[in-house]
């Protein structure tokens, strides 16, 4: 029974993980308050959670701010792009709900909005894991999001859960996005692993030529 509560026991380990999760959620919230920093903050959150999902021993503060600093410029550029895209999507949505648009326009509009959602869900987790140009980052967000559509749909449901939890205004709302990021990190880890394996195979093929 004593081993159960030892420093290497499950109670201590789970307690540490829960404490880290709470700290990360608060760090994300505080660092996102200036709004334009939300991209860098989200990238840092996924960076730390990704390490935890891969069972890499990691602290919280140092890797969080390391990622925040290293990806700040690129993440901020992406945040601006997302703000423009979402504003455009909102205007498009207003046109769609007005009832004046033709059916094919409504279908294209719905498809576009879904693609924007996919881009939003994937871009920061990818940035937290890979080094690539902003152009390739955007392209890969769409490619991976559409290639793994079932996983994307599951992430979408988790994101809806985050919105519901956030709007409930409960004491746990502050941890809602952190919970979404944690659960979706397991999904992204599986997708990224397949992507890395595929890239490795492509390099082997090119080396054999």
Q: What pLDDT, in 10s, does the model give residues 118-132?
A: 999 999 999 999 999
The residue behind tokens 């937290």 is 128
Kindly report the pTM of this predicted structure.
Answer: 0.87
Q: How far apart are CA 120 and CA 114, in angstroms?
A: 10
Q: How far apart are CA 113 and CA 87, in angstroms?
A: 11
Report the Cα–Cα distance between both ends of the chain, in Å, rounded: 60
Q: What is the mean pLDDT of residues 62-89?
A: 95
Which helix or strand (DSSP H or E) is residue 196 part of? helix 176-208
Tokens of 81: 């792009």
The percentage of the chain sitting over the pLDDT mark of 70, rounded to a whole number, equals 89
């Amino acid at each position: 029974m004593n081993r159960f509560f030892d420093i290497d026991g499950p109670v201590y380990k789970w307690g540490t993980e829960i404490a880290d999760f709470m700290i990360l959620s608060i760090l994300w919230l505080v660092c996102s308050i200036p709004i334009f920093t939300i991209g860098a903050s989200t990238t840092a959150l996924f960076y730390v959670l990704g390490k935890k999902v891969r069972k890499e021993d990691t602290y919280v503060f140092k890797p969080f701010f390391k990622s925040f600093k290293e990806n700040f410029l690129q993440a901020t550029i992406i945040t601006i792009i997302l703000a423009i895209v979402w504003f455009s999507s909102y205007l498009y949505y207003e046109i769609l709900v007005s009832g004046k648009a033709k059916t094919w326009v409504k279908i294209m509009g719905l498809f576009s909005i879904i693609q924007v959602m996919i881009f939003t869900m994937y871009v920061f987790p990818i940035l937290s894991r890979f080094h690539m140009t902003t152009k390739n980052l955007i392209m890969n967000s769409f490619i991976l999001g559409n290639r793994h559509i079932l996983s994307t749909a599951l992430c979408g449901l988790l994101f809806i859960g985050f919105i519901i939890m956030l709007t409930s205004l409960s004491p746990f709302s502050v941890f809602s996005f952190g919970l979404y990021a944690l659960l979706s990190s397991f999904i992204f880890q599986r997708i990224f692993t397949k992507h890395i394996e595929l890239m490795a195979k492509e390099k082997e093929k090119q080396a054999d030529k």
